[in-house]
Structure 1
Amino acid sequence: MSPGQANGTDPGARVPGRWSDLAPRVLSALVMAVLGVGAVWAGGAVFAVLVLAVCAAMMWELARMTGAGGFQALLPALLALGVLALNLWSAHPWPLLLLLVPVLVGLMVASRDAFAFGLYAPVILMTGLALVLLRQSAVIDGRLAVVWLVGVVIASDVAGYFAGRILGGPKFWPRLSPKKTWSGTVAGWIAAALLGLGFVLAGQGGWAMVAISALVALAGQLGDIAESAIKRRAGVKDASALIPGHGGLMDRFDALAFAAIAAALIQILWPFLPLAGRVVAGAAAGIAAGAGG
């Protein structure tokens, strides 16, 4: 007699445990990694189009979670796609003002939680600009910059996942993210710092990258918490069902969104990424030239 039968349970039944969500995490990560690596390597219009598509989908998910339905949810997503494309393919600064359009329209259709939409919609738009800025910049190694950024987010997430489940302990912010622990959070910082150290030892950045990698990891963790808060306000488990068996794009890119914005801002104010030491000037021209190519 098997242990399951002895306990009166079906031995073939699948018992959820603390590792029950590991398989969908790994599978979805692999699929997105293949697409992402190909786009990052190609750069130019390929990378920009992928980023714009992801941001538009995230805007649609946000609109739906905050009360919009049908075409009302699709409208701010389409507007976001248009104004982001205009900004990325234009060498002039005036299209930046148009970024307000999808936010304002979304505020009008978000009947249930316009406050959450108004806070998070600009994050989605800035994420699109930040990612393409890093990849297409004419003054840093764009491929290495994006690889470093994604690596920081993945290292932090993986280390936090395993440390949180193995070590447990006090919760980081239980009201907004009941599962996130201090042990997992600190493990994420350490893993990100070690990744930054690897880049330094490989000659791809200054020693500041160690600390800044941990800082960007923290930004990513806050992004995860911010999206969790929106879902709790909306009373949903996932942002959508766009990724089969897992959830939505906001569920997968919440950490990357905040991390990308933090990295882009730090890079503008204090160049530190691969090929650091050059002045971040002409980045917009690099974006336009790269996207056009």
Structure 2
Amino acid sequence: MNELTTRVISGIAMVVVALMAAVLGGYYFAFLVAAAATGMFYEWMRIVRGWGLHWSVGGFFYCLLPALALLWIRDRSGDQGLSLLLWVFVVTWSTDIGAYFAGRRFGKRKLAPTISPGKTVEGLWGGMAAAALLGAAWVLSTDLNWALLPLAPLFAVAAQAGDLFESKMKRMAGIKDSGSWLPGHGGLLDRLDGLVPVAVLTVAAQAAGLA
């Protein structure tokens, strides 16, 4: 089984689990979010071992805030909680997928060669386009606020920034992946680094009346 096939199968399994927990909500979703945040913090502490207390404290909030944001979106947004949570997932996942395939097909200009040599400017644009199109499709098929339409590509940039931040940490630590839990994807931080800023920014948008 080649790397792409492994990555796709593993990715589909993670999407199914996330969607099932999101739809069920309640303790099911809370357990998944808590487990993911705990795993992320474990990986973070392995990466920053010996870097100082501020890195440990920063990692605690890095993992806690998006977890609280996801729970807030699902359970504190009225009848639209599930729709908004799924929009967060759609934007994050479409950014990753669009950036991956656009980068492989059209990538020429390096986005951040000293941090993540594999990422390209064309991949970034592909991720933004995918997030804009699929995010808009979801908004228009639900009763979500249309103010989310221009936010999708902006949040895609934030997702890519989250990816680059984690890549920078791994480069500083001299490792390739944050863990080996997820076949074809590495660790939880590797898979969820884009979701972190998107979840937090969505709550900020909601507080501002844009979601």
TM-based fold match above 0.5: yes
Corresponding residue for residue 226 of structure 1: 165
Write the mapping of 1:76-91 to structure 2, written as runs, cut at 5 A: none
Return the offset for 1:156. 1.0
Please say if 1:269 is aligned against 2:211.
no
Distance 1:214 1:134 in 2: 20
Say if 1:116 and 1:230, in contact at 8 Å, map to a contact too: no
Secondary structure of the 1:61 match is helix
Cα shift readout 1:76-125 (whole Å, capped 9, x = no counterpart) = xxxxxxxxxxxxxxxxxxxxxxxxxxxxxxxxxxx245554444432211
Determine the structure 1 residue equivalent to 2:154.
215
Gaps of at least 5 residues in structure 1 are 1-13, 15-19, 68-110, 273-293
Quick one: structure 1 residues 21 and 113, their matched pair in 2 at CA, closer, same or farther if it must change by over 3 Å? farther
Q: What fraction of aligned residue pairs are identical, expressed as a percent?
A: 36
CA contact (8 A) 2:22 2:74 kept: yes
Gap regions ≥5 residues in structure 2: none
How many pairs are equivalent?
Answer: 211
Q: Determine whether 1:31 maps to 2:7.
A: no
TM-score normalised to the size of structure 2?
0.92
Q: Specify which of 65, 70, 74 is matched with residue 47 of structure 2.
A: 65
The equivalences for 1:104-253 within 5 A come to 111-112=50-51, 114=53, 116-244=55-183, 246-253=185-192
Q: Which residue of 1 aligns with 2:38?
A: 56
Does the aligned pair in 1 maintain the 2:80–2:144 contact within 8 Å? no
Shift of 1:178: 1.3
| 1:254-265 paired onto structure 2 within 5 Å | 254-265=193-204
Q: Structure 1 residues 120 and 191, CA, compared in 2 at 3 Å: closer, same or farther?
A: same
Provide the aligned C-alpha RMSD in A: 1.9
Q: Distance in 2 between matches of 1:138 and 1:189?
A: 26
Instruction: From the superposition, tell whether residues 271 and 207 of structure 1 become closer, same or farther in structure 2 (CA, over 3 Å).
Output: closer
- Bigger Rg, which one: 1
State the TM-score, normalizing by the size of structure 1: 0.67
Equivalent-residue separation in structure 2 for 1:140 and 1:259 (angstroms) = 21
How far, CA to CA, are the matches of 2:113 and 2:125 in structure 1? 16
User: Is the CA contact 1:195–1:210 (under 8 Å) kept in the aligned structure 2?
Assistant: no
Provide the C-alpha distance between the structure 2 equivalents of 1:258 and 1:216, rounded to a whole number of angstroms: 8
Looking at structure 2, the residues matched to 182 and 113 of structure 1 have their Cα atoms a distance apart, in angstroms, of: 34
